[in-house]
Chain A
Amino acid sequence: MVELVPSLLRQELNRLAEDGQRIDGRGQFDGRDVHLEVDCLYNAEGSAKVVWGDTIIYAGVKFEIRTPWPDRPAQGSLMCGAELRPVAHRKYEPGPPSPQSIELGRVVDRGIRESGCIDMEELCIVPGEKVWGVMIDIHVLSDGGNIFDAAGLAAIAALRTAVVPAERFDVGEDYTLKVNGTPIMASFKRAGGRFVYDPSEEEELGGDERIHITLGDEGHLHSLQKGLKGVFTPDEFAEILAVAEQKCSELREMVAEKEGN
């Protein structure tokens, strides 16, 4: 589907920004309400549902046993993929994975992988023969804006509550997957000329570039991504990074609360 660039919406976002306002009444760095549910799907070994404003995303974790890569005989693997299926919005069409859904999956994947929260050697069953492959699938059911943050939250929450199905594969007893950390993403979008946190659908439609920042427990950067057309200054980045630090720790607390830690 052709996406029209609504110039009136763009003008309106600019006009609102002059008074420091946003189209849905939020402040520049206010996020929408977020609800997180974990362990909510019966066949997934770990699962989470995130309702983030009008965005609804499920993530599910599955395990498989595979032979390790020859150069890493004692390491398992982790993969995170995303599907932007036509269920999620009128604008999505059926077909092979779009560049958009590949980007989403890979940005979430990098944040989790590079945070080191999964020790690949812990996923080894028999060196050189059998290792666990962990797969996180992100399933977007409703795109109401900022699917990146919602997908990142769903993915890490599902992973952190996953149980390794060792009994089903006949390699011992089931055990809780060890996850050392909670990487969290915070996304910003240029709308009305300045960056806002947690863009709504309208801001995504009438805005410019977006920036995704994934921070680990220690506040270190684990994944960065700039998407779409536009440029930004180092000062602008410093400003949103400070906001990201605060947002990420709030969401990290939410995940810990749901796990009952």
Chain B
Amino acid sequence: MGGYGDVKLLREDGKRLDGRAIDEMRPVTIEAGVLPAAHGSAMVTHGLNVAVAAVYGPMEAHPRKIQRQDRAVIDVRYNMAPFSTGDRIRPGFNRRSREISKVTAEALESVVLVERYPRSKIRVEIEILAAEAGTRCAGITAASVALADAGIPMRDMIVGVASGKIEDTVVLDLDKAEDNYGQADLPVGILPNTGEIAFLQMDGDLSIDEYNLAMEYNFKAAKEIHEEMVDALKRRYEGGEA
């Protein structure tokens, strides 16, 4: 979280700078099966964010030392394209992308039925083409749809959503300015069918009541995004191609 409260983020009428209500999400579109070379894929646009995910596998896990005798390992790479941000990013892994890749992999391992594929590896590649706050959530959503598109069995899909706090007000789905100048950000990965949480991060300052409200917003948004995810998969497979 950047500066605290020194930038005006709420308008006189209580709306946010981009005109959204405090519990309103940016528009989300989802498409499944966008990459012909991948076994499963999806593109998610969330506001101005663009995330693409590809799934390869299950395939032989190598090097051998990463193999698990009783389950598949999930190998996630979250990567921002050099042109995805204001200043160009030097290609390659950095600390931020390594951490996001790690916790995303652990979230996906909690829903994929990994015990069905012992000694194998499932590769999940998340590429961010445009970033405007909320890329890790868009990436998780895209990865879930891509896994489903690849036909990999899961207990549930994970929906990536975030709420936060600006000017002492809890709001759903921070945009770039709100993320830079707000007071807190709470990105989570929600399993809409079971109501469980597979991904959780937070930074900033939230009271317990504010946390509860932010989580309430997140669950509400997850339900909406989940409908889009299911629709995207239906559009992909109702054409008779499957």
A-B pairs, 3 with minimum CB distance? A60-B83, A54-B36, A87-B125
For residue B149, CB closer than 8 A to chain A, the reply is no
Q: For residue A142, which residues in chain B have a CB less than 8 angstroms away from its CB?
A: 35-38, 41, 54
| CB–CB A41/B50 < 8 A | yes
10 pairs of residues in contact across A and B, judged by CB atoms under 8 Å: A43-B84, A58-B81, A81-B82, A85-B127, A89-B37, A90-B39, A137-B91, A139-B81, A139-B129, A141-B54
Majority secondary structure of chain A interface residues (helix, strand, loop or mixed): mixed
Interface digits, B64-107 against A, CB 8 Å rule (1 contact, 0 not)?
A: 00000000000001010111111110011000000000000000
Number of interface residues of B (CB under 8 A): 32
| CB–CB A83/B91 < 8 A | yes
Q: CA separation between A41 and B50, bound complex, in Å? A: 8
Q: CA separation between A83 and B92, bound complex, in Å? A: 10
Q: CA separation between A90 and B37, bound complex, in Å? A: 8
Q: For residue B41, which residues in chain A have a CB less than 8 angstroms away from its CB?
A: 142
A61-B83, A139-B129 known; 8 new pairs, CB 8 Å cut-off, are: A41-B84, A43-B84, A56-B34, A85-B127, A87-B125, A135-B82, A139-B81, A201-B37
Chain B positions within 8 Å of A, measured between CB atoms, are 34-39, 41, 48, 50, 52, 54, 56, 59, 77, 79, 81-88, 91-92, 123, 125, 127, 129-132
Majority secondary structure of chain B interface residues (helix, strand, loop or mixed): loop
| CB–CB A41/B91 < 8 A | no
| CB–CB A64/B37 < 8 A | no
Minimum CB–CB distance for A55 against chain B, Å: 8
For residue A178, CB closer than 8 A to chain B, the reply is no
Q: For residue A41, which residues in chain B have a CB less than 8 angstroms away from its CB?
A: 50, 83-84, 129-130
| CB–CB B130/A62 < 8 A | no
Chain A positions within 8 Å of B, measured between CB atoms, are 41-44, 47, 54-56, 58, 60-62, 64, 81, 83, 85-90, 94, 96-97, 135, 137, 139, 141-144, 168, 201
Q: For residue A54, which residues in chain B have a CB less than 8 angstroms away from its CB?
A: 36-37
